[in-house]
Amino acid sequence: MDDVALAALFQKEFTWCRVIAGESVAIVTEPASPGSYLAASLASLASMGARPFQVMLPATPGTDDIPVVALGSGASTILADFPHVVELLGKCDLVIDLTLEGLVHSPETQTVLAGGARMLWIREPADALARLLPTADRVKRIDRSVELLGKAREMTVTSKAGTRFRANLEGALLTGSRGFCAERGRWAHWGQGLAAAYVKSLDVDGDIVLDVGDIVFPFNRYVESRTTFRFRRGFVEAIEGEGLDAALIRDYMERWRDENAYGISHVGWGLHERGLWHALSLYGNTSMGLDGRVFEGNFLFSTGPNHAAERQSRCHFDIPLRHCSIFLDGVPVVLEGVIVEPSIKRASQAPLR
């Protein structure tokens, strides 16, 4: 995509974020941040009358003693040694995150948001950014999904692969990930389209069975053999399976030496009709796998950091499953990977992928 087209695309997204003349916008970068995204951000924001500026921070290797490769967790430590920068960002109107790892699960992000700034992470390839732009119809379906979660006491999930899972939703922190941030103190990832609940209760039990073709993030890997997560009292009690998938997950989680890594984080479903399940096979590690997280009808569950339960962890898994059935208080929302709840169905269920 040429520079002019990219700047025009970014302006569309920033319009959804309600950027107005005079707003201060900090663009957080590291040496490996894409220069084309920085240039497009600066050009489009300036053309809208905003006051953008770049904050370049060094990306230094971690010095802790945890022997693990921590990539794709969304918990960049780039702000950890710069409290004065965190304070500055909290005073801005908008923060554009162009870091590769992302700041969503970084402790400093909560401080920035508490200051009133809104934050947008831009990470996916340009063609994905264009395809995953927000629409008014999708926003309505996401907001309605959050309403459904808010009225429910319990979510249950089943699948032909063997999933039998139940989560108490009382006290959960609900989020509708629309793909843009228009309100103060909100965070978004350009391209999102899902509804989720950060589970506060420990009343979470059952088995989630990963089947062939499901996806494990941050490994950016399609599951090749059935793997079972056994939840008891809100935490993963065992990860079972004879294939490589189970072995990789067990090894990675164990190496963090962090009990919170095993806790349930959020549960929900994808609503993005333009999200592509197969995209990971083409993009690989050039993206954060947003397509896989948001494609319509998936059941997405996560372990690790949980804002509702006030549990922090740098070990974070997002695992979207296909062909699951999701029920709220016994009422079906998704059946075998197809959204059936009338209030959140598209006018045409014909897949756009």
pLDDT in tens, 95-152: 999 998 888 878 899 999 999 999 999 999 999 999 999 999 999 999 999 999 999 9
pLDDT at 277 over 90: yes
8 A C-beta contact, residue 235 and residue 261: no
Residue 349: its pLDDT value, please? 62
CATH annotation of 3-123: 3.40.50.2300
pTM: 0.93
Q: What was the pLDDT predicted at 206? A: 98
Distance between CA atoms of residues 188 and 132, nearest Å: 13
Query: What's the pLDDT at 259?
Result: 97
Give, in order, the Cα–Cα distances in Å from 298 to each of 235, 275, 277, 294, 321: 22, 10, 9, 7, 6
CA atoms within 13 A on the CB side of 260: 13
pLDDT band, residue 353 (cuts 50/70/90) = very low
Q: Is the per-residue pLDDT at 155 higher than 50? A: yes
pLDDT at 271 over 60: yes
Flag the least confident range among 182-196, 201-215, 274-288. Answer: 274-288
At residue 352, the pLDDT reads: 45
Looking at every residue in the chain, the average pLDDT score rounds to 93
pLDDT tens digits, 35-90:
999 999 999 999 999 999 999 999 876 655 566 666 656 668 889 889 999 999 99
Element spanning 7, H or E: helix 3-16
Contacts of 94 (CB under 8 A, 6+ apart): 17, 19, 23, 24, 25, 26, 50, 117, 118, 119, 120, 181
DSSP secondary structure, 154-180, as one string = EEEEEETT--EEEEE-TTPEEEEE-S-
Across 308-322, average pLDDT: 93
Beta strands in 9-89 (DSSP E): 24-29, 51-56
- Sketch the domain layout of the chain as residue ranges: 3-123, 133-344
Q: Which two tokens stand for residue 310?
A: 């006030």
Average pLDDT over residues 147-173: 98
**Lowest mean pLDDT, pick from 98-102, 249-253, 329-333:** 98-102
Average pLDDT over residues 205-226: 96
Half-sphere exposure of 273 (CA within 13 A, CB side): 18
Between the alpha carbon of residue 288 and those of residues 99, 117, 131, the distances in Å are 11, 23, 15
pLDDT > 90? residue 314: no
Write down the pLDDT at residue 66: 62
Taking residues 143-167, report their average pLDDT: 98
Q: Report the distance separating Cα 13 and Cα 17, nearest Å.
A: 7
